[in-house]
């Protein structure tokens, strides 16, 4: 770094005691920053923009489902010549594929891991920064490049990838050019995740403050640690698979292409000999652990918010930690439950059905521990707590509806129906994303020194909570009736769906209402930066280390190196003079 | 940090391993010319490659002297999941889909009413 | 506050940041190549027949390249050991040799590729050639990465030896671990592609 010093920039030098400190240019402090907090915020803002984009794609899709073959109002003119009359089928497919890709790989994971992990994790373990700050910056900018490639793919001939977010071969191999962009974008995103996960693991293991033993780590840190291991070991096989599919598309190989493939234009000129099932294996080898990458950080956030607002310790901390580790381990050997319908054989199906039933146990243990934590607490209800409380039943619905899908016999009926869509959206949307909202409301005062508006937050919560039920509950009904996912007109052409197609409009109104209530959040988020109520360093009266740092924390995070004297959730300790004892507080008996 | 005595000890180990790797490379090439059939040939080649790989990992990469449980634990975990990954091809062929399978009761004694 | 344990070992984990970081990276690389080896097995088992590698590829050239790469691994450990013994000139010599051997490997590999290309043996021709090209090219990319890193430590990066010798030795060790891993992958690739 250059030693850039500008005289007119006012920075109080007394606060930055250590040698070699120098002021940074605008680019160094806000764009190519090495500070984990700035990178965390960069991740979070980028991810939230992508979440908004992914959600917008879905709101456009829902118009075609609710009112098939009618022009899209308001933004119809922006969708191009092909979609002027109504949404073209291939564009609908692009919307669906990109909605999934953007939401998972560019929205939720970067926000949960890149955003919250980067911002909160080093603070919670009392570290001055991440272990490898340059790697951290590289990770963000690799992610950014991946996002740009994905976004740009909408404008290539043939539009963005349209073979679903799972990109099953051989369809994806013969798809339009957008698929190649998708693969390149994925390779960027995977590389970014790898760099990030190495950094998270090293930071967690190596930079813990003195006294912060593993059994004193906040649950959020445990969740992030397990998540990082999942990213580290599960993502590379998909990177390999992405390279192979890229070879299939660009170099004309046949890794995923069996011999004798015939399309509408006649037999394909390929050498053949490949295996389409191989793609599914390699994809789901990543994508099942990916499900836990989505849910574990959310559980971590919920744990922090619950303990803080029930004013009592989290119930069963050790059980929670054991469960989250077991969950991480098991998530590597359940992937083929996505593939019961591929004809891979009953021996395999039985094995994966069994492991799937086993993995539901630690999930239930975690959820039960959260529920028991509520028991006999004197609960406060600020906005983050509302979102965290909503997470519990929503995740329970999502999780329990997953059980029939994990059994081979009912899966024959449910596979690829809206029931599946309802199931995983209950896990991810009112589950994970609500937990992420809880996290944003919860840690906002740490990042800005101000709280977000309580009133707007409550409107946002109740509006979202109610309208989201209208989006996803009807999916169970239409799915049970046999409505397939990815149907361009929502099943209008099928005789057996005539009684349920009406629900499509209900779901669409729900989705648009959900979109409307996000306006309150967006406004609140930006408005509160300047106009939110100013608060002190620990507005929620929390115990973990990040609340010991100033708000917002300076470069290097802590004014004095923190030292840890106790576990993470010492709320309402009998005999204490206040109802929370911070981890960094020395024991009065010893002092 | 280890002292210079340790390092000299290491260097003599490096030289031995270098010799072993050279010998094993020659052995694996020669073995491939011996007519033992495909299956045994694969087994032999993989045994020799694993031996070479272990030498590199344990001596050149100092895993022999590694004491950090977190590091070795992570590597063990990786190896476990690596084997899971390598099971994919075998799993795909488990049920002999498409081959004839007699039903379990096909050879049962037919029921004859008295 | 400075970031702790960049050089010294943390007592309760027994490693420093750099070493743990590079090993985690290598763990992910194991899974990356694992996916490709898995693909190789599935393609081979799924094929009606599979060619003998030595009928398509040149075993002498492959053996030569194996020897070159193993040799570069040996010079790499010697470079690190020289740093430990505080012999900077020896380090320069061995590190330079490592880079040269890596370049020899790449040159030989390029000749092999050129030979294949001129005979029309493109990846699209057969499944064997597809997996051969993909695996060796990905491995080759790793070699190029190693050349860049090792070249940096041989050239401009080596100045660090005079200011922070211990940190420099650590970084060279990390580069070495990566380099041995690349060698290790080739130790498996060679028999799998050339001999079986």
SS (H, E, C) A365-406: HHHHHHHHHHCCCCCCCCHHHHHHHHHHHHHHHHHHCHHHHH
More confident residue, C157 or A272: C157
CB distance C34 to A50 below 8 Å: no
Query: At a CB cut-off of 8 Å and minimum separation 6, what does B77 contact?
Result: A229, A233, C27
Look at residue C2 and tell me whether its pLDDT is greater than 70. yes
Using CB atoms, list chains with 3+ pairs below 8 Å to chain A: B, C
Mean pLDDT of the C146-164 span:
95
φ, ψ of residue A6 to 5 degrees: the values are -115, 135
Contact flag A18-C2 (C-beta cutoff 8 Å)? yes
The complex's ipTM works out to 0.95
Q: Do A233 and B97 touch (CB under 8 A)?
A: no
Nearest Cβ partner for A233 among B78, B91, B97: B78
- Kindly determine whether residue C123 and residue A247, on different chains, have CB atoms separated by under 8 Å: yes
What is the least distance, in Å, from the CA of A355 to any CA of chain B? 14
* DSSP output for A450-489: EEPPHHHHHHHHHHHHHHHHHHHHHHHHHHHTTPBTT-TT
| All partners of chain C with 3 or more CB pairs under 8 angstroms | A, B
Chains with 3 or more CB pairs under 8 A to chain B: A, C
Distance CA A438, CA A303 (A): 11
Q: Which residue in B77, B85, B91 is closest to A237 by CB distance?
A: B85
- Distance from C-alpha of B99 to C-alpha of A127, rounded to nearest angstrom: 60
> How far apart, in whole angstroms, are the C-alpha atoms of residue C190 and residue C182?
12
Reported as a single tens digit per residue, the pLDDT across A95-105 is 999 999 999 99
Q: For an interface test with B, which of A197, A202, A332, A340 has the most B Cβ atoms less than 10 Å from its Cβ?
A: A332
Size of interface A-C (CB pairs under 8 A): 133
Please tell me if residue A347 touches chain B, with a CB cutoff of 8 Å: yes
CB pairs under 8 A between B and C: 124
Residue with tokens 């593939």: A339
| pLDDT in the model for residue B107 | 54
Residues 115-154 of A with CB under 8 A from B: none
The predicted-structure confidence for A413-453, as pLDDT tens digits, reads as follows 999 999 999 999 999 999 999 999 999 999 999 999 999 99
Nearest CB to B84; choose among A205, A333, A347: A333
Q: What is the mean pLDDT of residues A34-59?
A: 96
Interface test with C, best of A273, A275, A289 (most C CBs within 10 A): A273
CA distance, residue C64 to nearest chain B CA (Å): 10
pLDDT category of residue B95 using cuts at 50, 70 and 90: low
Please tell me the distance from the alpha carbon of residue A415 to that of residue A408, in angstroms, as a whole number.
Answer: 10
Confidence of residue A577 (pLDDT cuts 50, 70, 90): confident
Helices assigned H by DSSP within A207-275: 219-250
How high is the pLDDT of residue B97? Answer: 52
Of A153, A149, A124, the C-alpha closest to A40 is A124
Q: Give me the DSSP letters along C137-182.
A: HHHHHHHHHHHHHHHHHHTGGGGHHHH-HHHHHHHHHHHHHHHHHH
Q: Do C25 and A234 touch (CB under 8 A)?
A: no
Give the mean pLDDT of A72-82: 85
Cβ separation A202–C47 shorter than 8 A: no
Give the residue-averaged pLDDT of C49-60.
90
C10 belongs to a structural domain: no
- Residue A26 pLDDT > 60: yes
Q: Average pLDDT, whole number, for chain C?
A: 94
The enclosing H or E element of A262 equals strand A262-263
Residues A120-173: tens digit of each pLDDT:
999 999 999 999 999 999 999 999 999 999 999 999 998 999 999 999 989 999
Q: What pLDDT is attached to residue A39?
A: 96
Query: Considering Cα of A494, then A496, then A502, then A508, what sign does the dihedral take?
Result: negative
pLDDT at A68: 93
Q: Is the pLDDT score of A590 beyond 90?
A: no
Domain-located, residue C54:
no
Per-residue pLDDT, averaged over A563-572, amounts to: 93
Instruction: Assess whether pLDDT exceeds 60 at residue A216.
Output: yes
Does residue B57 sit within a domain? yes
Pairing outcome for strands A533-534 and A450-451: antiparallel
Say whether residue A3 is in contact with chain B using an 8 A CB cutoff.
no
- In a domain, residue C131? The reply is yes
Best of C39, C48, C113 to substitute, by most chain A Cβ atoms within 10 angstroms, is: C39
In this model, does residue B99 exceed pLDDT 60? no
Half-sphere exposure of C162 (CA within 13 A, CB side): 5
CB contact under 8 A, A275 and C43: yes
Interface membership of C12 toward B (CB under 8 Å): no
- Nearest by CB to residue A241, choosing from C5, C35, C131, is C35
Nearest CA-CA partner of A435 in A367, A396, A388: A388
H helix count then E strand count, chain B: 3, 0
Is C5 inside any structural domain?
A: no
Pairing of strands A533-534, A262-263: unpaired
Is residue B94 one of the residues assigned to a domain? no
Rounded mean pLDDT of A57-81?
91
Give the one of A131, A252, A253 whose C-beta lies nearest to C21's C-beta.
A131
Highest mean pLDDT among A431-435, B37-41, B107-111: A431-435
Partner residue facing B94 (CB), from A278, A343, A347 = A347
Per-residue pLDDT, averaged over B37-66, amounts to 92
C chain contacts of residue A255, beta-carbon cutoff 8 Å: 39, 43, 127, 130-131, 134
In a domain, C85, yes or no: yes
Residues of B in contact with A233 (CB under 8 A): 77-78, 81
C174 token code pair: 């990390």
The number of distinct structural domains making up chain C is 1
Give dist(CA A403, CA C183) in Å, integer: 45
C20–A278: do the CB atoms touch at under 8 Å?
no
Measured over the CA atoms of residue C172, residue C175, residue C179 and residue C181, the dihedral's sign is positive
Q: Which residue has the tokens 């998530």?
A: A331
CATH number, residue C186: 1.20.120.80
Of residues A386 and B2, more confidently modeled? A386
Domain assignment of residue B99, yes or no? no
pLDDT tens string C75-97: 999 999 999 999 999 999 999 99
pTM of the full predicted structure? 0.93
Q: Is C16 on the interface with B (CB under 8 A)?
A: no
Q: Domain range for residue B48? A: 4-87
User: What pLDDT was estimated at residue A470?
Assistant: 97
Q: Looking at the domain A66-257+273-548, which fold is it?
A: Cytochrome C Oxidase; Chain A (1.20.210)
| A333/B contact by beta carbon, under 8 A | yes
Would the pLDDT of A14 be above 50? no
Residue of C37, C176, C195 with shortest CB distance to B86 = C37
Q: Residue A206 and residue C17: Cβ atoms within 8 Å? A: yes
Q: How far is CA C155 from the centre of its chain?
A: 19
Q: A72, A57 in Cβ contact below 8 A?
A: no
Alpha helices in B56-92 (DSSP H): 69-91
In a domain, C134, yes or no: yes
CB-based contact B45 C76, cutoff 8 Å: no
The per-residue pLDDT of chain A, averaged, comes to 91
Nearest to C78 among B14, B81, B86 (CB): B14
Reported confidence tier of residue A28, pLDDT bands at 50, 70, 90: confident
The sign of the dihedral angle between the CA atoms of B14, B17, B23, B24 is: negative
For every residue of A164-185, DSSP letters joined together read TTTT-TTTTTTS-THHHHHHHH
Residue span of the structural domain in which C172 resides: 59-117+124-195
Beta carbons of B49 and C15 less than 8 Å apart? no
Question: Could you give the angle at the alpha carbon of B62 between the alpha carbons of B58 and B66, nearest 5°?
Answer: 100
Quote the CA–CA distance of A247 and A254 in Å, as a whole number: 8
What does the pLDDT read at residue C188?
Answer: 96
Q: What would the pLDDT profile of A532-546 be if each residue is shown by its tens digit?
A: 999 999 999 999 999
B79: which chain A residues are within 8 Å (Cβ-Cβ)? Answer: none
Where are chain A's structural domains? 66-257+273-548
């Amino acid at each position: 770094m250059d030693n850039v010093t500008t005289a007119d920039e006012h920075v109080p030098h007394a606060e930055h005691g250590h040698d070699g400190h120098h002021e940074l240019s605008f680019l160094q402090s806000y764009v190519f920053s090495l500070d984990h907090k700035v990178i965390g915020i960069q991740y979070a803002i980028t991810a939230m923009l992508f979440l908004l984009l992914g959600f917008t794609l879905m709101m456009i899709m829902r118009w075609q489902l609710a009112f098939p073959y009618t022009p899209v109002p308001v933004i119809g003119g922006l969708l191009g010549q092909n979609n002027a009359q109504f949404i073209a089928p291939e564009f609908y497919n692009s919307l669906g594929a990109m909605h999934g890709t953007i939401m998972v790989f560019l929205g939720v994971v970067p926000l949960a891991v890149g955003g919250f992990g980067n911002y909160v994790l080093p603070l919670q373990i009392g570290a001055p920064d991440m272990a490898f700050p340059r790697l951290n910056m590289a990770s963000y900018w690799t992610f950014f490049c991946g996002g740009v490639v994905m976004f740009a793919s909408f404008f290539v001939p043939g539009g963005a990838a349209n073979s679903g977010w799972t990109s099953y071969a051989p369809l994806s191999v013969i798809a339009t050019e957008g698929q190649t962009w998708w693969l390149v974008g994925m390779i960027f995103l995977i590389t970014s995740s790898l760099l990030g996960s190495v950094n998270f693991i090293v930071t967690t293991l190596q930079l813990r403050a003195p006294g912060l033993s593993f059994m004193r780590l906040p649950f959020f840190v445990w969740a992030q640690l397990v998540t990082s291991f999942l990213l580290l070991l599960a993502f590379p096989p998909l990177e390999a698979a992405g390279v192979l599919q890229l070879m299939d598309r660009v170099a004309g190989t046949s890794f995923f292409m069996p011999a004798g493939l015939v399309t509408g234009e006649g037999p394909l000129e390929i050498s053949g000999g490949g295996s389409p099932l191989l793609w599914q294996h390699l994809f789901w080898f990543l994508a099942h652990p990916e499900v836990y990458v989505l849910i574990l950080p959310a559980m971590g956030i919920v744990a922090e918010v619950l303990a803080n607002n029930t004013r009592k310790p989290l119930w069963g901390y050790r059980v929670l930690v054991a469960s989250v580790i077991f969950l991480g381990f098991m998530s590597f050997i359940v992937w083929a439950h996505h593939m019961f319908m591929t004809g891979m054989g009953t021996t395999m199906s039985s094995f994966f059905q069994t492991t799937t039933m086993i993995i539901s146990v630690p999930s239930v243990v975690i959820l039960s521990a959260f529920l028991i934590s509520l028991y006999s607490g004197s609960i406060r209800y600020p906005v983050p707590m509302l979102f965290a409380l909503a997470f519990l039943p929503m995740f329970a619905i999502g999780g329990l509806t997953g059980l029939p899908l994990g059994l081979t016999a009912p899966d024959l009926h449910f596979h690829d129906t809206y029931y599946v869509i309802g199931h995983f959206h209950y896990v991810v949307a009112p589950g994970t994303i609500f937990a992420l909202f809880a996290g944003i409301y919860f840690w906002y005062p740490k990042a800005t020194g101000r709280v977000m508006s309580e009133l707007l937050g409550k409107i946002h919560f109740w509006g979202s909570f109610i309208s989201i039920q209208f989006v996803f509950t009807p999916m169970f009904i239409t799915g049970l009736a046999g409505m397939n996912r990815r149907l361009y007109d929502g099943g209008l052409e099928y005789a057996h769906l005539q009684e349920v197609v009406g629900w499509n409009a209900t779901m669409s109104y729900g989705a648009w209402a959900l979109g409307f209530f996000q306006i309150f959040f967006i406004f609140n988020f930006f408005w509160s930066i300047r106009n939110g109520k100013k608060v002190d360093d620990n507005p929620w009266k929390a115990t973990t280390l990040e609340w010991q740092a100033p708000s917002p924390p300076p470069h290097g995070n802590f004014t004095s190196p923190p030292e840890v004297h106790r576990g993470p959730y010492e709320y309402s300790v009998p005999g204490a003079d206040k109802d929370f004892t911070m981890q960094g507080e020395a024991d009065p008996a010893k002092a | 940090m280890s002292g210079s005595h340790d390092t000299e000890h290491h260097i003599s180990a490096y030289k031995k391993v270098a010799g072993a790797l050279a010998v094993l490379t020659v052995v694996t090439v020669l073995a491939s010319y011996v007519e033992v059939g495909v299956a045994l040939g694969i087994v032999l080649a993989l045994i020799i490659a694993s031996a070479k790989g272990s030498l590199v990992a344990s001596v050149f990469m100092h895993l022999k002297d590694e004491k950090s449980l977190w590091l070795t634990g992570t590597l063990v975990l990786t190896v476990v999941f690596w084997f899971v990954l390598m099971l994919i091809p075998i799993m795909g062929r488990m049920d002999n889909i498409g081959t004839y399978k007699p039903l379990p009761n096909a050879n049962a004694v037919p029921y004859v009413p008295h | 506050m400075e970031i702790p344990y960049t050089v010294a070992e943390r007592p309760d984990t027994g490693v420093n940041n750099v070493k743990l970081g590079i090993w985690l990276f290598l763990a992910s690389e194991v899974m990356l190549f694992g996916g490709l080896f898995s693909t190789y097995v599935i393609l081979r088992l799924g094929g009606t027949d599979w060619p003998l590698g030595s009928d398509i590829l040149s075993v002498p050239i492959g053996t030569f390249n194996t020897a070159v790469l193993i040799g570069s691994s040996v010079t790499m450990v010697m470079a690190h050991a020289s740093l430990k013994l505080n012999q900077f000139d020896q380090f320069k010599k061995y590190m330079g040799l490592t880079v040269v051997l890596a370049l020899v490997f790449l040159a030989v590999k390029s000749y092999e590729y050129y030979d294949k290309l001129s005979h029309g043996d493109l990846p699209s021709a057969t499944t064997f050639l597809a997996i051969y090209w993909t695996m060796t090219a990905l491995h080759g990319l790793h070699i190029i990465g190693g050349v860049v890193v090792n070249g940096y430590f041989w050239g401009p990066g080596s100045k660090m030896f005079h200011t922070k010798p211990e940190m420099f030795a650590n970084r060279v060790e990390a580069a070495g671990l990566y380099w041995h891993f690349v060698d290790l992958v080739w130790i498996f690739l060679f028999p799998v592609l050339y001999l079986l």
